[in-house]
């Protein structure tokens, strides 16, 4: 076994690998960029070295050699499936904890991978995958395969460049746009055509192989709950498969691994029709550890990172296929820095408060104070549970998410809870289109509950009451004979300002929201609110004028703009104020101060996590303020421009 291992990654996967290294008594080495100098994965390693980029092969190799590491674990993403990196490790005398470079190369090209596994007897989706197909040949191939058909790049993944075509008239435009995106994303515009499987389910098999000829599978994972080809919730085993189907798919996955001389951990991904679960087709092989590997660990009782280390060190697999058993059911939910209410735009910020559920496994690279920007993948953490059966696991995951609170960064946690309660998810009637079909329902209620607005106003009252001993400084509206109403303006992130009026003090008050009748309410510390006879507790954190409240997996960012002397006026309501929909970088500014603009006219383009968003003028008028410039970093809800109505 190794004495020292460098992890060429960051965030939750680096922290997760370090956990196994510590248990085995292996010295851990981290790499980090300047931006990650204070990150959790840096603090949890025994040693950390700076690199310009996690994609800089020479720098990572130099760091490994300088630290005295004997092996390199690539995690997933970055260099994990980079053939050049795997070879560079070997040339530098380092063990690459992954498959041979030849296996990565063979499975990295979809056309070559399909041909390789087909030759080994693995079912593949009917299609045409000859290299160098022209547009005309590709169109003919698509019609030959039969519509609907998928036009997809041979290189890369993640859904980039993929086009679903149901009408022959749409083929020319689909092929042209797929080539453009493939060329821009991967530097390779080679395309293939394959049959589109209706009501598809995404089921993958975890395999392991050693250098001594042993290869096994560890059962399947169901990954059908996706949005834009990005997995959201994964589980093991699949509610679709029976034992016989599992063995057929597992045997085919092992055959695919043997066909390329595989070693270590890998995943063979299949597409399976929900209507015909007896049919399965090879999609691709991921030559690395998967994000969703924890669900396999919980149902098998195996530490997959430890197995990776042992196989890379030349040891034999300590079990055979007959020894592999699946116990109970496990489900994982991915926590993303994104805002479902704003079309899942990437978010960011600083972690102000973090509470993780006690009775669940949480793989995370976060702690209080972590800064989340737009440079890396938006996944922040994974919440994983195990139950005796699927019903129990679903319930435990919902309760775990209800107990997960992250304040300071908008996340998808509340969305995940709504998804888990979807009738088709509960019944196991899944397919890869379920989430997209249900988005209107799953994102419909983005309003802030009245008690949350009341809590924000009472928190302001409580803060001022605690600020000094002079009762005349307290804005409780006291006057001889009665208490008057104290109005506050509370603005939820991305929402419209709301007037909340308070009569009395925080410990005993009446609260009226907009024109609704007053409600008895009180607030005490730690943050406990009684509102209309119902008492609840919140996690709370303040960041300047913004109060963050969390409860039941929900998190609300509430800003107090001004104390209102009357109703909400136009300025408080934010008319004409353009705010950034996500933290990121200003790519373009399409106007100047003093310009006249039309309603809907593009003014500023913001980019984060490789996603561009154009912010337009909310009304016709004159650009009164334009505080941003190209290249500037902006926070969520930062003011980009102010438009004043003409006249």
Which residues are paired to 336 by β-bridges?
379
For residue 508, how many other CB atoms are within 10 A of its CB? 12
pLDDT by residue (tens digit) across 310-337?
999 999 999 999 999 999 999 999 999 9
What is the model's pLDDT at position 298?
A: 98
Pair of tokens at residue 236:
């093991």
- Identify the burial level of 273 via C-beta atoms within 10 angstroms of its C-beta, where 0-12 means exposed, 13-18 middle and 19 or more buried: middle
Gap between the Cα atoms of 159 and 227, Å rounded: 10
pLDDT by residue (tens digit) across 432-477?
999 999 999 999 877 899 999 999 999 999 888 876 545 444 555 5
Own/partner pairs, 82-86, CB within 8 angstroms, 24+ separation: 82/57, 83/108, 84/57, 85/8, 85/57, 85/60
| Extended beta strands in 33-124, E state | 47-50, 71-73, 95-96
Gap between the Cα atoms of 276 and 396, Å rounded: 30
The answer to whether the predicted template modeling score (pTM) of the entire model surpasses 0.75 is yes
Which residues are paired to 611 by β-bridges?
608
Report which secondary-structure segment, H or E, holds 244: helix 243-259
pLDDT by residue (tens digit) across 563-590?
444 433 333 334 688 888 777 788 889 9
DSSP secondary structure letter of residue 493? T
- Helix (H), strand (E), coil (C) string for 110-148: HHHHHHHHHHCCCCECCEECCCCCCHHHHHHHHHHHCCC
| Dihedral angle of Cα 339, 342, 346, 351, to the nearest 10 degrees | -40
Gap between the Cα atoms of 169 and 556, Å rounded: 47
pLDDT by residue (tens digit) across 177-199?
999 988 888 889 999 998 888 88
- How many Å from the N-terminal Cα to the C-terminal Cα in the chain? 77
Chain center to CA of 604: 26
Pair of tokens at residue 268:
């063979």
Gap between the Cα atoms of 22 and 220, Å rounded: 28
What is the model's pLDDT at position 179?
A: 93
For residue 127, how many other CB atoms are within 10 A of its CB? 22
- At 543, is the pLDDT very low, low, confident or very high (cuts 50, 70, 90)? very high
Asked whether the beta carbons of 543 and 352 are under 8 A apart, the reply is yes
- At 633, is the pLDDT very low, low, confident or very high (cuts 50, 70, 90)? confident
What is the model's pLDDT at position 561?
A: 63
Pair of tokens at residue 603:
């003014």
Asked whether the beta carbons of 277 and 220 are under 8 A apart, the reply is no
**In order of start, what are the domains of the chain with their CATH numbers?**
4-97 (3.40.50.20), 126-195 (3.30.1490.20), 201-442 (3.30.470.20), 450-563 (3.30.700.30), 577-645 (2.40.50.100)
pLDDT by residue (tens digit) across 369-425?
999 988 888 999 999 999 999 999 999 999 999 999 999 999 999 999 999 999 999
Mean per-residue pLDDT of the chain? 91
CA-only gyration radius of the chain, Å: 27
What is the model's pLDDT at position 612?
A: 74
What is the model's pLDDT at position 572?
A: 38
What number is the average pLDDT over the span 288-308?
98
Please name which of 626, 511, 636 lies closest in space to residue 580, comparing C-alpha atoms: 636
Higher pLDDT, 448 or 560: 448
With a CB cutoff of 8 Å and minimum separation 6, the contacts of 324 are 216, 217, 218, 219, 300
Gap between the Cα atoms of 283 and 415, Å rounded: 28
- Distances, alpha carbon 477 to alpha carbons 67, 461, 520, 539, in Å: 65, 11, 16, 28
What is the model's pLDDT at position 506?
A: 92
Gap between the Cα atoms of 494 and 345, Å rounded: 12
Gap between the Cα atoms of 196 and 126, Å rounded: 9
Share of the chain above pLDDT 90, in %: 72
Asked whether the beta carbons of 606 and 612 are under 8 A apart, the reply is yes
- Distances, alpha carbon 349 to alpha carbons 510, 600, 628, in Å: 34, 28, 19
446, HSE (Cβ side, Cα atoms, 13 Å): 19
* 413-420 and 390-402 helices, crossing angle to 10°: 150
CA 209, 214, 218, 220 torsion-angle sign: positive
| Dihedral angle of Cα 190, 193, 196, 201, to the nearest 10 degrees | -40
Judging by DSSP bridges, how do beta strands 95-96 and 71-73 pair with one another?
parallel
Highest average pLDDT, of 59-68, 340-349, 497-506, 573-582, comes from: 59-68
């Amino acid at each position: 076994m190794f004495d020292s291992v460098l992890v060429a990654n960051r965030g939750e996967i680096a922290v997760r690998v370090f956990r196994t290294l510590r248990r085995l008594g292996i010295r851990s080495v981290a790499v980090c960029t300047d931006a990650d100098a204070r990150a959790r994965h840096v603090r949890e390693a025994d040693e950390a070295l700076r690199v310009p980029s996690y994609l800089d092969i020479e720098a990572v190799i130099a760091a490994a050699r300088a630290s005295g590491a004997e092996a390199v674990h690539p995690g997933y993403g970055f260099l994990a499936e980079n053939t050049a990196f795997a070879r560079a490790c070997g040339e530098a005398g380092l063990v690459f904890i992954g498959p041979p470079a030849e296996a990565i190369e063979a499975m990295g090209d979809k056309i070559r991978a399909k041909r390789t596994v087909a030759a080994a007897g693995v079912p593949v989706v009917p299609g045409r995958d000859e290299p160098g197909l022209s547009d005309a040949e590709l169109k003919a191939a698509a019609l030959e395969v039969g519509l609907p058909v998928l036009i997809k790049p041979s290189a890369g993944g993640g859904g980039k460049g993929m086009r679903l075509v149901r009408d022959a008239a749409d083929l020319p435009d689909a092929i042209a746009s797929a080539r453009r995106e493939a060329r821009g994303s991967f530097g390779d515009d080679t395309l293939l055509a394959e049959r589109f499987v209706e009501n598809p389910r995404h089921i993958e098999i975890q395999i392991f192989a050693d250098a001594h000829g042993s290869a096994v599978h560890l059962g399947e994972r169901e990954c059908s709950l996706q949005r834009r080809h990005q997995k959201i919730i994964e589980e093991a085993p699949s509610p679709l498969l029976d034992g016989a189907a599992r063995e057929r798919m597992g045997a085919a996955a092992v055959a695919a691994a043997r066909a390329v001389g595989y070693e270590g951990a890998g995943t063979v991904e299949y597409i399976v029709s929900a209507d015909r679960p007896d049919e399965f087709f090879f999609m691709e092989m991921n030559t690395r550890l998967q994000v969703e590997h924890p669900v396999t660990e919980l149902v098998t009782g195996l530490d997959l990172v430890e197995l990776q280390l042992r196989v890379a060190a030349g040891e034999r697999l300590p079990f055979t296929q007959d020894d592999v058993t699946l116990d109970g059911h496990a489900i994982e939910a991915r926590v993303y820095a994104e805002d479902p209410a704003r079309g899942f735009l990437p978010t960011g910020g600083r972690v102000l408060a973090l509470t993780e559920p006690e009775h669940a496994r949480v793989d995370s690279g976060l702690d209080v104070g972590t800064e989340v920007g737009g440079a890396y993948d938006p996944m922040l953490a994974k919440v994983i549970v195990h139950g005796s059966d699927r019903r129990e696991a679903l319930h435990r995951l919902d309760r775990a998410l209800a107990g997960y609170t992250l304040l300071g960064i908008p996340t998808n946690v509340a969305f995940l809870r709504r998804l888990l309660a979807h009738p088709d998810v509960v019944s196991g009637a899944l397919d890869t289109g379920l989430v997209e079909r249900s988005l209107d329902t799953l994102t419909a209620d983005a309003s802030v509950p009245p008690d949350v607005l009341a809590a924000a106003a009472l928190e302001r009252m409580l803060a001022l009451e605690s600020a000094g001993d002079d009762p005349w400084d307290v804005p409780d509206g006291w006057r001889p004979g009665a208490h008057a109403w104290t109005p506050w303006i509370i603005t939820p992130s991305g929402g419209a300002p709301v007037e909340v009026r308070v009569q009395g003090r925080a410990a005993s008050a009446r609260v009226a929201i907009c024109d609704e009748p007053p409600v008895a309410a009180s607030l005490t510390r730690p943050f406990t609110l009684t509102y209309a006879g119902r008492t609840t507790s919140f996690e709370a954190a303040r960041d300047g004028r913004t109060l963050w409240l969390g409860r039941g997996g929900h998190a609300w960012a509430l800003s107090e703009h001004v104390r209102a002397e009357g109703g909400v006026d136009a300025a408080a309501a934010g008319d004409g104020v353009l705010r950034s929909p996500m933290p990121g970088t200003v790519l373009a500014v399409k106007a100047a101060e003093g310009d006249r603009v039309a309603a809907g006219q593009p003014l500023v383009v913001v980019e984060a996590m490789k996603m561009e968003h154009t912010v337009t003028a909310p009304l016709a008028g004159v650009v009164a303020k334009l505080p941003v410039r190209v290249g500037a970093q902006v926070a969520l809800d930062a003011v980009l421009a102010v438009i004043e109505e003409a006249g």
